[in-house]
Amino acid sequence: MTDTVAPATATARGELLLRVSGLAVQFGGIRAVDGLSFDVHEGEIVSVIGPNGAGKTSAFNCITGFYRPTGGTVHFGGDDITRIRPSTITKRGMSRTFQNLRLFRDMSVLDNVKTAMHSRLRENVFDQLLHTPRYKRAEAQCTQDARGWLDFVGFRGDEELFVTQLPYGEQRRVEIARALATQPRLLLLDEPGAGLNHQEKAELMALIRRIRDLGVGIVLIEHDMGLVMEVSERIVVLNFGKEIADGSPAEIKANPAVIEAYLGAEEDE
Amino acid sequence: MADKNLLPRLDRLTRITAPQPLFSRPRPLSGLLAPQRFMGLLGLALFIGALVLPFITASPYIISILTSAFIYVMIAMGLNVVVGYAGLLDLGYIAFVAVGAYTSGILSTTLGFTMLETIPFVVLACILAGIVIGGPTLRLRSDYLAIVTLGFGEIIRITATNLSITGGASGIHGIPTWSFFGWSFADGADLFGIHFNAKILFYFFVVIVALGLATVGAARLANGKLGRAWKSVRDDEDASEAMGINGYTAKLSAYIIGAVWGGVAGSLLATHLSAISPPSFEFLYSALILMAVVLGGMGSTPGVIIGALFVSLAPELLREFSEWRYLLFGVLLVVVMIFRPAGLWPANFVLPFLKRRPAAEPVSTTNIPWAQQAKEEAEAEQEEIERMSAVTSTVPDSIPDAVAGVNAISDNPADQEENR
């Protein structure tokens, strides 16, 4: 499997998108994230791994603005976004998916994706009330773009269905399509492979690479080591909120601290 | 590697752009029985029916209860924006109706404004009331919001009881009917040899404004950018934040638009009653309108119309049961909620005889390079697994159990949970 690992020249790939430095978040006495630092560049796939409860999702929530970090900074595209509202961060070009699917249940697949184009859609209340030509143009464009994204992620179901009527794997795809429809420069995927079968995981890997080829930076939280080792260019390992390793997949596999963390995790579970 | 020709590379300065769709979609349904067309025609039929009704029977009683029923439809459509679309439980909605009614009542009786001239002020006052009430309260969620809106509803009513400009407990009397550039409904009109009196003219006006404009307008808002933002906030506020929607402004806009609908309806109500006083805006009415929305079906235009007509007409239709009628009304409600818990006409309900969309054709993926490649990879992996299991099956019985045990431990619990 090592021969499929991408060369570690990723840092030369593109502009620096995300710089997390010394990120810390504390809930009461528990330090969920404690001094996390890493960079992500345009068109780079970085994985964040670690045993359960290592603070991966907490770190994601801090970066995307859902939690207020108690320390450290997050810089995105040159701006400090440490304490900014999640919707503003999304508008600046960072998008995310959620660990437990969080699609809009009472909306159709197509409307779910169209919702993500909210901030780029040029129509006001009066356009909507009067169905002006501008409204019709904007909606037609929005629908076409949403369909483009659905096809891009390989969604093959019926776009008019409510999302709850879809099989699990298709819901995952819709969530990624929705995240892409915000037209991000950086995409954070929180366990996109959870609950998928082999075929779906293989397609997911191909999809992640195709998103990378658009020039989007990707941060991935994943438990499936096969998937992580294969798609990642760099891996950051967390344990008990602390960063214990940062390097290429080959380096991570050989790192004794990582091996220890994973063997030790069995006791906790 | 994936096919690079499929999509353009990211321009350094711009965002990625959406790719072109790869497949054509089935054409939308056409014809009379296409659901959207049919519902539009049904609405038009109701509208025309309401306009024709005075030519069939013009008894003051029927005209009067239908006028107030249609005003209720408009109020309920406004509340539907707040409760049905944005999912904000508002127990003090009648406060906005009161603001609208008092604004136009005061301006027309003390300053001599015509009703038409008061409307801009009604809208302004309602936007202001929406911001003042919604601004601080919309930071709260669900139950807390309901309690606070309940409180604000009472505050508005009690304020109206105690201010002298609102006429105190006796309220405002002699609110004029609508007039346009010197011609008033009170003057009546003669058309086609038929004389229309003020009440009937006002009835027509209410039908056009409440059924024609307000209902269509509120229904349209549900489908555009705002409507999607509201529904997304209702379904999952965090996820909608992650989509770049500011939840607070989305909720506030729902509140303000709901307030404007309620306020304009309040202004119509003031004209209809010609006198308003604080008891017209008690909590009971907030509850009744909320009931109309929930009973009809939250977020559903036909449902809310049915609900509002039911709530406003049922007490009249049950009048012969005198004191018993509210009891019967209550029993009816309970029965409806048992048999149709999502409302009489839920938001995603489609009449069974309407055309169904043909199922989307199965899409061939063989001509998409990445889909083909992914399939091959998966097959290769599957083969490898089968080869591995063939090896393990030759091992003595006791060992595979141990291997299975280790796998069970190291498997991600999240995976197991998801697989159910």
Residue by residue, pLDDT tens for chain B (420 residues) are 333 333 233 334 457 888 888 777 777 777 778 888 888 899 999 999 998 888 888 788 888 999 999 999 999 999 999 999 999 999 999 999 999 999 999 999 888 888 888 999 999 999 999 998 888 888 877 788 888 889 999 999 999 999 888 888 888 888 888 888 877 787 777 777 777 788 888 888 888 888 889 999 999 999 889 999 999 999 999 999 999 999 999 999 999 999 999 999 999 999 999 899 999 898 888 988 998 999 898 999 999 999 999 888 888 887 777 677 778 778 888 888 888 888 889 888 888 887 777 666 655 555 566 666 666 766 777 787 788 777 666 555 554 444 444 444 444 444 444 444
- Pick the residue from chain A with its C-alpha nearest to B84: A106
Residues B138 and B179 in one domain: yes
Residue B30 in domain: no
Q: Is the CB of B377 less than 8 angstroms away from the CB of A205?
A: yes
Q: Which residue of B has its CA nearest to A43?
A: B10
CATH number for the domain including B61?
1.10.3470
| Distance from the B395 Cα atom to the nearest Cα atom in chain A, whole angstroms | 25
Residue pairs between chains A and B whose CB atoms are closer than 8 Å: 218
In a domain, A83, yes or no: yes
Q: Is residue B45 part of a domain?
A: no
A113 and A84 share one domain: no
Q: Which residues of B touch A111 (CB under 8 A)?
A: 228, 231
Please give the residue range of the domain that contains residue B379: 369-419
Looking at the structure, do residues A158 and A221 belong to the same domain, yes or no?
Answer: no
- Determine, yes or no, domain membership for A232: yes
Residues B142 and B287 in one domain: yes
Residues of chain A found within 8 Å of residue B224, distances taken between Cβ atoms: 123, 127-128, 135, 139
Q: Which of A124, A154, A178 is the last residue of a domain?
A: A178
Asked if B273 and B373 sit in the same domain, the reply is: no
Q: A201 and A257: one domain?
A: yes
Would you say residue A162 has pLDDT above 80? yes
Query: What CATH number does the domain containing A201 carry?
Result: 3.40.50.300
Q: Are residues A174 and A188 in the same domain?
A: no
Whether B347 sits inside 8 A of A106 (CB atoms) is yes
B338 contacts chain A (CB < 8 A): no
One domain, residues A127 and A258? no
| Residue A65 domain-assigned (yes or no) | yes
| Residue B207, in any domain of the structure | yes
Does residue A80 belong to any structural domain of this protein? yes
Bridge partners of residue A189, in order along the sequence: A220
Q: In Å, what is the CA distance from A27 to each residue of A49, A68, A77, A190, B238?
A: 21, 11, 28, 21, 19
Same domain, B325 and B385: no
Q: What ipTM did this prediction achieve?
A: 0.88
Provide the number of structural domains found in chain B.
2
Query: Quick one: A198 and A249 in the same domain?
Result: yes
Same-domain pairing of A15 and A65: yes
Residue B387: inside a domain, yes or no? yes
Check CB contact under 8 Å for B1 and A213.
yes
H-helix or E-strand containing B157?
Answer: helix B142-162
Find which of A121, A203, A227, A262 to mutate to test the B interface (most B CBs within 10 Å of its CB): A203
Token pair, residue A209, equals 């690479």
* pLDDT for the residue B395: 52
Contact flag B235-A87 (C-beta cutoff 8 Å)? no
Q: Are residues B199 and B252 in the same domain?
A: yes
- From chain B, the residues in CB contact with A119 under 8 A are 244-245
- Asked whether residue B259 falls in the same domain as residue B389, the answer is no
Q: Which of A178, A208, A241 is the last residue of a domain?
A: A178
Report the domain count for chain A.
2
What angle do the packed helices B301-317 and B283-296 form, to 10 degrees? 120
Give the Cα-Cα-Cα angle B216, B221, B226 (nearest 5 degrees). 175
Alpha-helix runs per DSSP H in B243-300: 247-273, 283-296
Let me know if residue A98 belongs to a domain.
no
For residue A170, the chain B residues in CB contact (below 8 A) are: none
- With CA atoms as reference, the chain B residue closest to A67 would be B238
Assigned domain for B218 exists: yes
A174 and A190 fall within a common domain = no
Q: Do A216 and B16 touch (CB under 8 A)?
A: yes
Residue A12 above 50 pLDDT?
A: no
Q: Are residues B383 and B326 in the same domain?
A: no
State the Cα angle at B77 between B74 and B79, rounded to 5°.
115
Boundary-marking domain end, from B339, B356, B383: B339
- The candidate with the shortest Cα–Cα distance to B294, out of B240, B351, B334, B252, is B334
- Shared-domain flag, residues B307 and B393: no
CB-based contact, B174 to chain A, within 8 Å: no
Contact call for A145 and B16, based on CB within 8 A = no
Indicate whether B89 and B232 sit together in one domain. yes
Do residue A116 and residue A79 come from a single domain?
A: no
Same domain (yes/no): B117, B191: yes
Which positions 205-234 of B are in contact with A (Cβ < 8 Å)?
217, 220-221, 223-229, 231-232, 234
A185–B16 C-beta distance less than 8 A: yes
Yes or no, beta carbons of B228 and A209 under 8 Å apart: no
C-alpha distance from A168 to closest chain B C-alpha (Å): 9
Q: Is the CB of A118 less than 8 angstroms away from the CB of B16?
A: no
Is B246–A115 a contact, with Cβ atoms under 8 angstroms apart?
Answer: no
On whether the CB atoms of residues B292 and B311 are closer than 8 A, the answer is: yes
Label residue A1 by pLDDT band (50, 70, 90).
very low
B295, part of any domain: yes
Q: Are B123 and B291 in contact (CB under 8 A)?
A: no
Say if residue B385 is in the same domain as residue B312: no
Domain of A151, in residue numbers = 103-178
Judgement on whether residues B284 and B382 belong to the same structural domain of the protein: no
CA A198, CA A113: separation in Å to the nearest integer?
Answer: 26
pLDDT for residue A4: 39
Of the three residues A178, A204, A229, the one that is the final residue of a domain is A178
Contact state of A115 with B229 under an 8 Å Cβ cutoff? yes
Measure A252 CA to nearest chain B CA, in Å: 19
Task: Indicate if A217 and A87 belong to the same structural domain.
Answer: yes
Instruction: Report yes or no on B308 lying in a domain.
Output: yes
Is B122 within the bounds of a domain?
Answer: yes
Among the partner-chain residues B18, B357, B365, the one whose CB lies closest to the CB of A148 is B18
φ, ψ for residue B241, nearest 5 deg: -60, -40
Of B339, B356, B382, the residue that ends a domain is B339
Q: Give yes or no for B28 touching A (CB within 8 A).
A: no
